[in-house]
Amino acid sequence: MAMRKKSQKTNSFQIIKDYWNGNFSLGKSFWIGFIVIGSIISVPAFIYTDSYIDTLGNTGLMGLFLYFIILYSYLILAYVGTWRSASNYKPKKDQWSWGTIAKVYIVLSAIRALVELFI
């Protein structure tokens, strides 16, 4: 039983490492890692308003702080991993460069995120 848990931890770490290095296909990195999982993990951030945060006690604020650490850690992983997957993408002859399109989307998404952070 202990061997299985260690193997699962190793597999999870290897998946994160492979994603970070851009070893997943562009389709999986962009659509699953960046869009789907990124959207799901970001949903609570849209729920928290200033008036809601003002009502939280110390425990709630610590939970919120932990959530934002996890959120931004994942977003950094998603941005870097998807960017590297896009860099590794080799289009077929006479095919659009989906890697370049993904990079443009990532840059626009990062700009939007920064603007929302400071407004």
1 pLDDT tier (thresholds 50, 70, 90)? very low
pTM: 0.81
- What does residue 15 show for φ and ψ, rounded to 5 degrees? -65, -45
User: Is the separation of the CB atoms in 25 and 86 below 8 Å?
Assistant: no
- Kindly tell me if the per-residue pLDDT of 6 is higher than 70: no
Which residue has better confidence, 84 or 117?
84
Structure tokens at 84: 């590297």
Cβ-contact 67, 44 below 8 angstroms? yes
DSSP-derived secondary structure letter, 92: P
Structural contact between residues 78 and 98, judged by C-beta atoms closer than 8 angstroms? no
CA distances from 70 to 8, 14, 41, 96, 99 (A): 20, 19, 9, 34, 27
pLDDT in tens, 57-111: 889 889 889 999 999 999 999 999 999 999 999 877 777 789 999 999 999 999 9
Q: What is the pLDDT of residues 27-68, one digit of tens each?
A: 999 999 999 999 999 998 888 777 778 888 889 889 889 999
Q: What is the pLDDT of residue 29?
A: 96
pLDDT (0 to 100) of residue 91:
79
Cα gap 99→104, rounded to integer Å: 9
